């Protein structure tokens, strides 16, 4: 039975968006407070973006590893409580802006993590050492390669691995240098242990309170990653380790020139010869961190779009090729399938959606797409047409916030369609459930954001997930990502502030959840 088989709801929020003193959200007190908010609002799900360590541009969809965690999320307060980090060092933290300033955040957090590692070495107990050793035995299959990759990357001013000296570009030769780099290598292992330890404690706290975490697994991995460096055979590369073709999508809603993502494509024939061993280990690892996993760009398993690597500004010269299709999912364990959400968005998706339905996987419905665009979009995403086996969103990390969409992106017809749909579904809900119209003292529920949220709640989809930006009625300044925009300076930076998660908001969302029969 799938976790998504009953009516429930949740909130989409990446951990970097928590408030806090140190410039970026982390796995400390604010994360636990957010779980408490979900419990108080009678939610079932917390959805996140990928948790991996980010590279250039800080996109969680371009990570330095498919397995490692983002160590910027490590709670520095927790390290201080363990006695490994002096509280006076944290008290001297600079005044960070509300939006994430990644340059300043990375410099400060790296300094604190270096101090904490030295504190660990000086004060570790036998119990600490045993816990570290147990984690490493379990995680060695990816953690050792990642730690060595990061050690070399730091030694070469964070340059891409294809620019390293020849004997370090070659993984087999590079491994022989591990002992000479032991201290820095082991510090990277320490950081990963701390990330996994803190995340495990947070997940346990959530699960004990009946909150399930929906994770996000990008289908592709970055070229500049430990996975590609250490396992070149899994990817289509030339003799120098460079990809002749890269991933992308053709021109679409987000970009007239298409999007050149730049990941290497998989050598699917090789993966199939191994029984898809790397993919199975990747999915298993993801499902140890989360309860349900959304596979981003699920379409790539059906067919994927490759672009000549030399085409930097357009994807118009790309082509579609078949993915592994059933061969991969025949290898996935049966008990894993109910824990997968397939991101099935995009143009010309008829065959992909039919395949996804045959696999029995839930897809995604984005309400912003329901009120403008083509008749096909209105049919696919209309809230009164959504089937139970779907996860419904007002928008995603790639969309504008609902308020930003309503005020800036939507035209008069789209706004009118949304308002008419809201009135129609409210009337139907009252009639079908023989209940009074929903009211909440002091709340203006006629705003665009609450109308869109309620459209999701009234829909037939079993699972509804609302970005926190929409619950807070944040305008376009809260948008997480702008696909296809070459200016990366504003992406992945939004954070809410202390005091945003008020008792009034919690109570309103709880009552709304109860009214629409989604309460836990």
- Provide the annotated active-site residues: 296, 343, 398
Structure tokens at 280: 């199975």
Among 13, 45, 398, 50, which Cα is nearest to 217's?
Answer: 50
**Are residues 69 and 196 in contact, defined by beta-carbon separation less than 8 angstroms?**
yes
Phi-psi region of 473 (alpha: psi -120 to 50; beta: other; left: phi over 0): left
Question: How many Cβ atoms sit within 10 Å of the Cβ of residue 167?
Answer: 11
* Sign for the pseudo-dihedral over CA of 119, 17, 59, 137: positive
What single DSSP character describes residue 311? -
Sequence-ordered list of residues with C-beta below 8 angstroms from that of 397, at least 6 positions apart, any chain:
12, 14, 49, 467, 480, 481
d(CA 52, CA 415): 37
Alpha-helical segments (H) within 209-337 = 226-230, 268-273, 277-289, 326-331
d(CA 354, CA 365): 15
Helices 102-123/182-208 angle, 10° precision: 100
**Are residues 43 and 513 in contact, defined by beta-carbon separation less than 8 angstroms?**
yes
3-class DSSP assignment, residue 45:
strand
Among 354, 393, 388, which Cα is nearest to 370's?
Answer: 393
């Amino acid at each position: 039975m799938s976790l998504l088989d009953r009516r429930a709801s949740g909130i989409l929020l990446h951990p970097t968006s928590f408030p806090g003193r140190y410039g970026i959200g982390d796995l400390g007190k604010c994360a636990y407070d957010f779980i408490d908010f979900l419990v108080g609002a009678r939610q079932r799900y917390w959805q996140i973006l990928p948790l991996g360590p980010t590279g250039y541009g800080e996109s969680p969809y371009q990570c330095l590893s498919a397995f490692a965690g983002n160590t910027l999320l490590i709670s520095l307060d927790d390290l201080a409580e363990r006695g490994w980090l002096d509280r006076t060092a944290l008290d001297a933290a600079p005044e960070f802006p509300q939006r994430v300033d990644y340059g300043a955040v990375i410099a400060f957090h790296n300094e604190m993590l270096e101090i904490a590692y030295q504190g660990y070495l000086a004060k570790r107990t036998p119990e600490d050492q045993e816990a570290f050793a147990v984690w490493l035995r379990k995680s060695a299959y990816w953690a050792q390669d990642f730690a060595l990759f990061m050690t070399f990357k730091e030694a070469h001013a964070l340059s891409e691995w294809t620019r390293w000296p020849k004997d370090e570009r070659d993984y087999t030769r590079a491994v022989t240098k591990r002992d000479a780099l032991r201290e820095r290598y082991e510090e990277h292992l320490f950081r990963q242990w701390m990330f996994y330890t803190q995340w495990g404690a947070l997940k346990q706290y959530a699960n004990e309170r009946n909150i399930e975490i929906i994770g996000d697994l990008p289908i592709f991995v970055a070229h500049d990653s430990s996975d590609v460096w250490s396992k070149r055979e899994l990817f289509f590369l030339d003799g120098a380790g460079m990809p002749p073709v890269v991933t992308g999508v053709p021109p679409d809603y987000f970009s007239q020139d298409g999007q050149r993502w730049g990941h290497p494509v998989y050598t699917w024939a090789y993966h199939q010869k191994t029984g898809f061993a790397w993919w199975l280990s990747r999915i298993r690892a993801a499902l140890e961190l989360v309860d349900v996993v959304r596979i981003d760009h699920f379409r790539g398993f059906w067919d994927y779009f490759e672009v000549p690597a030399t085409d930097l500004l357009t994807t118009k010269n790309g082509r579609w090729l078949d993915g592994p299709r059933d061969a991969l999912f025949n290898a996935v364990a049966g008990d894993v399938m109910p824990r997968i959400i397939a991101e099935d968005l995009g143009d010309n998706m008829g065959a992909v959606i039919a395949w996804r339905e045959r696999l029995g996987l839930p897809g995604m419905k984005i309400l912003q797409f329901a009120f403008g665009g083509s008749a096909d979009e209105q049919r696919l995403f209309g809230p009164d047409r959504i089937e139970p086996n779907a996860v419904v969103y007002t928008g995603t990390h790639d969309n504008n916030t609902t308020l930003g969409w309503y005020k800036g992106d939507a035209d008069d017809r789209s706004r009118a369609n949304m308002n008419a749909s809201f009135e129609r579904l409210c009337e139907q809900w009252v009639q079908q459930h023989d209940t009074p119209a929903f009211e909440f003292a002091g709340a203006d529920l006629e705003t665009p954001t609450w109308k869109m949220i309620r459209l999701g709640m009234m829909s037939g989809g079993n699972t509804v997930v609302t970005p926190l930006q929409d619950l807070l009625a944040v305008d376009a300044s809260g948008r997480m990502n702008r696909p296809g925009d070459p200016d990366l300076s504003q992406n992945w930076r939004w954070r809410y502030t202390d005091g945003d998660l008020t008792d009034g908001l919690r109570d309103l969302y709880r009552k709304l959840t109860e009214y629409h029969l989604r309460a836990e």
